[in-house]
């Protein structure tokens, strides 16, 4: 039954998903006289948020806003919301929860304690005090217009509920064990959804058995790029399946574009970006009575870097210093694909911008609003993912309030 507030029947809102986007929508709606129900199929809230914070919760990034927005693959679409709820706003919001922010040397924003759990506890406490009703272990089976079919997993019973508006904050399809299983896709029209692809994920290459000794070792301070894209510098870890690291994640958008254009995935590395090809060639010149291994070692080409050169550069070029230097400065790696989407940190794809209004209202169902990672946008790691989830959650909450005020 709807609640009575000041002798007025409250409008009922359902939020499906208790991650950062859903919680932000709830926070916006908690400021008004609505009856807000948050449904979460897991036993507790924000499990992916907590998992991301195990090694330090990187919640945003303090770089210049114009540059920040360009990190997204849909910058024009997200810009109005990111501009309102940017890294500075997030830091002030954290302080409102008595969680002090900390900006690392790389510009990444963290809680001073680094952990996600204290922030989440404070956030949930405030939402509960403001009247938000949480229903854990409640799975949504179906959605029809403004009606939800709900399965109470704890008591193993199903029931239906009607709402004046519904916010979907269900996540994408990676890390399904934490709740983002993508079942919500069956509730929408297929033409409203861009198919999901792995993002911020490792890439695959079929190494020979001779690479096994360097599995898990890093290629330190290398430059990586894909064709027609900017170069970036950092470290890359050689794994049993291929390559992994934040530097690899940054190339994901360009690699997906190659696939979209029907081209093979190809990554390029410069193993010595601080040296010119001529400088490197000079160091690689054959010397009398020196083994190839010793020459390479003196040039800095050893360990993982030497192994990947032996793997990818034709053997007949190893003794030709000029050609070898050119190969090392422009090392082409023909990749075979991304790691499975289940392993990805995030996903590209989701509900298309053209299927939604400027207030994130689904055009085919005006009582339905969407936010977070289920939308068709993507970004690298570094605080960008969480910032956009929180910003779109607030935008959806405001959209619901505007819609209901006109109803």
What's the pLDDT tens digit per position in 321-358?
Answer: 999 999 999 999 999 999 999 888 899 999 999 999 99
pLDDT at 178: 86
Percent with pLDDT over 90 in the chain:
88
Helices 87-96 and 384-406, axial angle in degrees (round to 10): 80
- pLDDT tops 70 at residue 6: no
pLDDT, residue 290, reads: 85
Q: Are 165 and 369 in contact (CB under 8 A)?
A: yes
Mean pLDDT of 227-250: 94
The pLDDT score that the predictor gives to residue 333 is 98
- How confident is the prediction for the chain on average, in pLDDT? 94
Q: Rounded to whole angstroms, how far apart are CA atoms 312 and 335? A: 12
Instruction: List, for residues 268-297, the tens digit of each pLDDT value.
Output: 999 999 999 999 999 999 877 789 999 999
**Residue 11: per-residue pLDDT:** 96
pLDDT value for 213: 97
pLDDT exceeds cutoff 60 at 7: no
Task: Give the pLDDT mean for 35-63.
Answer: 93
Per-residue confidence (pLDDT) for residue 175, from 0 to 100 = 82
| Token reading at 355 | 């299927």
Over residues 53-58, mean pLDDT: 86
Stated pTM of the model: 0.88
Give the tokens for residue 54.
Answer: 């195990």
Q: Report the share of the chain in percent with pLDDT over 70.
A: 98
Q: For the segment 97-151, what is each residue's pLDDT rounded down to a tens digit?
A: 999 999 999 999 999 999 999 999 999 999 999 999 999 999 999 999 999 999 9
Determine the Cα–Cα distance for residues 30 and 45; give it in Å rounded to an integer.
17
Q: Give residue-wise pLDDT tens across range 293-323.
A: 999 999 999 999 999 999 999 999 999 999 9
pLDDT at residue number 52 = 83
Dist CA 174 CA 100 (whole Å): 30
Checking if the pLDDT of 5 tops 70, the result is no
**Residue-wise pLDDT tens digits, 144-194:** 999 999 999 999 999 999 999 999 999 999 888 888 899 999 999 999 999
Number of C-beta neighbours around residue 264 at 10 A:
9
Q: Tell me the residue length of the chain.
A: 407
pLDDT at 9: 62
Question: What b/e sequence results for 100-112 when a residue is b if at least 16 CB atoms lie within 10 Å of its CB, and e otherwise?
Answer: ebeeeeeebbbbe
Q: How many Å apart are CA 341 and CA 239, to the nearest integer?
A: 17
Local confidence band at 3 (pLDDT 50, 70, 90 cut-offs): low
What's the chain look like in SS3?
A: CCCEECCEECEEEEEECCCHHHHHHHHHHCCCCEEEEEEECCCCCCHHHHHHCCCCCCCEECCCHHHHHCCCCCHHHHHHHHHHCCHHHHHHHHHHCCCCEEECCCCEEEECCCCCHHHHHHHHHHHHHCCCEEEECEEEEEEECCEEEEEECCCCEEEEEECCEEEECCCCCCCHHHCCCCHHHHHCCHHHEEEEEEECCCEECCCCHHHHHHCCCEEEEEEEECCCCCCEEEEEEECCCEEECHHHHHCHHHHHHHHHCCCCCEEEEECCCCCCHHHHHHHCCCCCCCCHHHHHHHCCCCHHHHHHHHHHCCHHHCCCHHHHHHHHHCEEEECCEECCHHHCCEEEEEECHHHECCCCEECCCCCEEECHHHECCCCCCCCHHHHHHHHHHHHHHHHHHHHHHHC
């Amino acid at each position: 039954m709807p609640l009575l507030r000041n002798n007025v029947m409250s409008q009922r809102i359902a939020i499906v998903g208790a991650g950062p986007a859903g919680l932000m929508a709830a926070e916006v709606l908690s400021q008004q006289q609505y009856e807000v129900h948050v449904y979460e199929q897991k036993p507790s809230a924000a499990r992916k948020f907590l998992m991301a914070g195990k090694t330090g919760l990187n919640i945003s990034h303090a770089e210049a806003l114009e540059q920040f927005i360009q990190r997204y693959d849909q910058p024009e679409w997200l810009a109005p919301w990111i501009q309102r709820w940017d890294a500075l706003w997030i830091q002030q919001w954290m302080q409102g929860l008595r969680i002090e922010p900390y900006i690392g040397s790389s510009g990444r924003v963290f809680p001073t304690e680094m952990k996600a759990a204290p922030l989440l506890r404070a956030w949930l406490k405030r939402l509960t005090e403001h009247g938000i009703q949480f229903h854990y272990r409640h799975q949504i089976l179906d959605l029809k217009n403004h009606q939800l079919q709900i399965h109470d997993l704890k008591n193993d019973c199903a029931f239906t509920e009607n709402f004046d508006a519904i916010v979907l904050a269900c996540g994408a399809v990676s890390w399904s064990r934490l709740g983002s299983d993508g079942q919500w896709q069956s509730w929408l029209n297929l033409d409203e959804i861009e198919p999901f692809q792995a993002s911020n994920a490792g890439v695959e290459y079929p190494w020979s058995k001779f690479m096994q000794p360097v599995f898990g070792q890093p290629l330190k301070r290398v430059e990586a790029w894909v064709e027609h894209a900017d170069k970036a510098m950092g470290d890359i870890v050689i794994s049993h399946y291929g390559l992994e690291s934040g530097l690899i994640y940054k190339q994901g958008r360009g690699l997906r574009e190659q696939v979209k254009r029907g081209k093979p995935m190809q990554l390029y590395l410069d193993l010595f970006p601080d040296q010119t090809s001529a400088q490197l060639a000079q160091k690689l010149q054959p010397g009398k009575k020196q083994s190839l291994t010793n020459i390479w070692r003196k040039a800095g080409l050893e360990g993982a870097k030497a192994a990947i050169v032996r793997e990818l550069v034709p053997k007949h070029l190893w003794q030709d210093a000029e050609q070898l230097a050119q190969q090392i400065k422009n090392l082409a790696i023909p990749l075979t694909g991304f790691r499975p989407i289940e392993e990805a940190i995030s996903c590209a794809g989701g509900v298309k911008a053209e299927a939604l209004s400027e207030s994130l209202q689904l055009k085919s169902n005006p009582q339905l609003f969407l936010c977070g990672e289920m939308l068709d946008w993507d970004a690298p790691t570094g605080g960008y993912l969480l910032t956009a989830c929180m910003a779109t959650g607030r935008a959806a909450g405001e959209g619901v309030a505007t819609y209901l005020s006109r109803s």
